Amino acid sequence: MGKVKTEQIKRVANELMDRFPEKFSNSFDDNKHSVSELTTGTTTRVRNQIAGYITSSYTEEETETPTENAEIEESKA
């Protein structure tokens, strides 16, 4: 149940990741500070939800990359 995010959180997080990809990483604390700098008028809860969604997105990308590379190498062989 903890992974359900509203469309607003996802939309804002995806827009921030598209516009400012260099400001985010897989560190929740760093992402939290970046989100607070880039957005205005968000509550602490919303800011943390956006930062958590961004963190989980970056973490998923990092874990998928080695698997995808291994599959590509296997298909070439």
| Token pair for 7 | 């469309």
CATH of domain 7-76: 1.10.60.20
Residue 6, H or E segment: none
Domain positions in the chain are 7-76
pLDDT tens over the chain, length 77 residues: 466 678 999 999 999 999 999 999 999 999 999 999 999 988 999 999 999 999 999 888 877 766 555 666 666 65
pLDDT at residue 73, as a whole number: 61
pLDDT at residue 74, as a whole number: 63
Q: What is the DSSP string of 33-63?
A: HHHHHH-SS--HHHHHHHHHHHHHHHHHHHH
